[in-house]
Chains A and B, each alone.
Chain A
Amino acid sequence: GAVVSQHPSWVICKSGTSVKIECRSLDFQATTMFWYRQFPKQSLMLMATSNEGSKATYEQGVEKDKFLINHASLTLSTLTVTSAHPEDSSFYICSASLLVTDTQYFGPGTRLTVL
């Protein structure tokens, strides 16, 4: 099956710093990538959808200036949490889908802890 990786898997940072999370599709070209956020014991909440070469579409309530998404190639999307604060601590998960299928393949997630 299709494989999606995320890096780093775990990051701890100080409040006010920025953190970049990478999402890569390893064996397929992903036209569309998705970024989710998952709070403890809760479901995944879609943050934004990104298509290669175009601006990301953010869900309502998600600050686009705080969560910068770049989808520069068909195998790489990045999420940058700018000026992170403790309330941004969460599990961030990306997924990628092929152009003509409806299955999203998920990365293993990145746990962000902001001190």
Chain B
Amino acid sequence: AQSVTQLDSQVPVFEEAPVELRCNYSSSVSVYLFWYVQYPNQGLQLLLKYLSGSTLVKGINGFEAEFNKSQTSFHLRKPSVHISDTAEYFCAVILMGSTGANNLFFGTGTRLTVIP
């Protein structure tokens, strides 16, 4: 069963425009939620995470995400993108109570391309 869905495989956006990258998850248990960014030929870098508390999470590089339990979503947003934001973005979840320790389940990724 697919735990994490990223509906948009590619998102082109003009520089300085806002962007939202969508992430939905399916789980019958509580989850921890993450967004990672992968620049070309590099490993993953943690953007932000939601473990508990405030549902609005702020991360690095001006990104933020909001956990919406009723809609099982964790969409990533940035009010004004920069050329350097061009990268692959992955949403991931840890299912609480899963048998695997800290096993991250990744979405298929969204390629954000910022157009000058």
Residue ranges of A at the interface with B (Cβ–Cβ < 8 Å): 1, 4, 6, 32, 34, 42-46, 49, 51, 57, 93, 95, 97, 102-109, 111
**B27 close to chain A: CB less than 8 A:** no
Q: Quick one: which of B32, B36, B108 contacts A106, CB cutoff 8 A?
A: B36
CB pair B106 A43 closer than 8 Å: yes
If the complex has contacts A44-B90, A102-B32, A102-B51, are A93 and B43 also in contact, measured as CB distance less than 8 A? yes
For B44, give the chain A residue with the smallest CB separation.
A106
Find chain A residues with CB under 8 A from B41 CB.
Answer: 109, 111
For B34, give the chain A residue with the smallest CB separation.
A103
Can you give 22 A-B contacts (C-beta < 8 A)? A1-B46, A4-B43, A6-B43, A32-B101, A43-B90, A43-B107, A43-B108, A43-B109, A45-B106, A46-B104, A95-B44, A102-B51, A102-B94, A102-B102, A103-B34, A103-B46, A106-B36, A107-B43, A108-B43, A109-B41, A109-B43, A111-B41
CB pair A44 B44 closer than 8 Å: yes
Residue ranges of B at the interface with A (Cβ–Cβ < 8 Å): 32, 34, 36, 41-46, 49, 51, 90, 94, 100-104, 106-109
Interchain nearest-CB distance for B110 vs A (Å): 10
Find chain A residues with CB under 8 A from B109 CB.
Answer: 42-43
Find chain B residues with CB under 8 A from A45 CB.
Answer: 106
Interchain nearest-CB distance for B53 vs A (Å): 14
For B90, give the chain A residue with the smallest CB separation.
A43
Find chain B residues with CB under 8 A from A111 CB.
Answer: 41
If the complex has contacts A43-B109, A49-B100, are A109 and B49 also in contact, measured as CB distance less than 8 A? no
Find chain B residues with CB under 8 A from A105 CB.
Answer: 46
A6 to B108, CA, bound (A): 23
A95 to B42, CA, bound (A): 13
CB pair A46 B101 closer than 8 Å: no
Find chain B residues with CB under 8 A from A57 CB.
Answer: 100
A63 to B106, CA, bound (A): 21
A95 to B34, CA, bound (A): 14
A51 to B34, CA, bound (A): 22
If the complex has contacts A57-B100, A102-B51, are A42 and B108 also in contact, measured as CB distance less than 8 A? yes
